[in-house]
């Protein structure tokens, strides 16, 4: 385990670049404040340096909310988004801090989709991002690394990426959604009965429950 001093890069930190990207973003980006002591602990537990965009987001932010909170990029936690990146992964993708993870959960969305960096478990392209699509119960390769993923969140047309998954009035509903919750749908999104998102019942529940349910469903129905 590298020390905090080894992880904080003062010569070439990534945060100024990430801030520049945020300033030019086409999508709405909310930068959540962080607590310095908690951020330092999270950086140590994640073992990434602040020279990397992920380390910069962990060390400098409590997380990022993209497009009215539709996507939540994990950092070191805040009053609004209490989950931290290392704590959210512990018990899911690794048991103890410092262990290599088969994949690392770095972001999620309001409909129970999850973004993860492939550690080798999801495919041959270790280091690339995958998206767990709740309407398919599958991890889908995005063919991009973490930096490109940030730019994807900042610049992409999310209506295009989430085609068929957004209902009329979603902006207001999602902006009021607790970022530590996600929306549960019935009928389930992967069923034929849910092909019209406007007709599906919605309920906000803790995202921990959504993750467990979706992973169990993926293992059951794959």
Q: How far apart are CA 69 and CA 46, in angstroms?
A: 24
Is the pLDDT score of 58 beyond 80?
yes
* 112: region left, alpha or beta (phi > 0 left; psi from -120 to 50 alpha): left
Q: What are the residue ranges spanned by the domains of the chain?
A: 4-221
Residue 222 predicted with pLDDT over 80: no
- What is the chain's mean pLDDT, rounded? 97
Please tell me the predicted confidence (pLDDT) of residue 221: 82
- Mean pLDDT, residues 23-32 taken together: 98
Report the share of the chain in percent with pLDDT over 90. Answer: 99
**Which fold does the domain 4-221 belong to in CATH?**
SMI1/KNR4-like (3.40.1580)
Give the chain's radius of gyration (CA, Å): 17
For residues 205 and 211, what is the distance between their CA atoms, to the nearest angstrom? 11
Q: Is 206:180 a contact under the CB 8 Å cutoff?
A: yes
Per-residue model confidence as pLDDT tens digits over 88-107? 999 999 999 999 999 999 99
Percent of the chain with pLDDT over 70: 100
Q: What is the pLDDT of residues 122-138, one digit of tens each?
A: 999 999 999 999 999 99
Beta strand spans in 23-143 (E): 29-32, 63-66, 71-74, 103-109, 114-118, 129-133, 138-141
* Distance separating alpha carbons of residues 25 and 120, to the nearest angstrom: 31
Determine the average pLDDT of the residues in 146-174: 98
What is the CB neighbour count within 10 angstroms for residue 92? Answer: 17
pLDDT at residue 205, rounded to an integer:
98
- Segment 153-182 shows an average pLDDT of 98
Other CB atoms within 10 Å distance of the CB of residue 20: 10
Q: What is the DSSP letter of 143?
A: -
């Amino acid at each position: 385990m590298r020390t905090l001093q080894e992880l904080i890069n003062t010569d070439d930190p990534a945060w100024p670049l990430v801030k520049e990207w945020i300033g030019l973003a086409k999508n709405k980006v909310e930068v959540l404040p962080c607590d310095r002591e908690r951020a330092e602990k999270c950086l140590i537990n994640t073992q990434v340096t602040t020279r990397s965009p992920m380390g910069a987001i962990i060390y400098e932010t409590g997380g990022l909310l993209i497009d009215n909170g539709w996507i939540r990029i994990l950092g070191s936690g805040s009053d609004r988004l209490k989950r931290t990146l290392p704590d959210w992964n512990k018990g899911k993708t690794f048991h103890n801090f410092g262990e290599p993870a088969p994949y690392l959960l770095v972001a999620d969305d309001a409909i129970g989709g999850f973004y993860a960096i492939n550690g080798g478990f999801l495919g041959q392209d270790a280091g690339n991002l995958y998206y767990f699509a709740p309407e398919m119960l599958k991890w889908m390769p995005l063919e991009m690394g973490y930096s490109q993923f940030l730019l994807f969140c900042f610049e992409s047309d999310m209506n295009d990426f989430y085609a068929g998954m957004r209902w009329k009035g979603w902006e207001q509903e999602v902006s009021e959604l607790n970022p530590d919750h996600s929306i549960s749908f019935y009928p389930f999104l992967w069923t034929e009965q849910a092909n019209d998102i406007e007709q599906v019942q919605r309920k906000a529940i803790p995202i921990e429950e959504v993750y467990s349910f979706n992973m169990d469903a993926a293992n059951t129905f794959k």
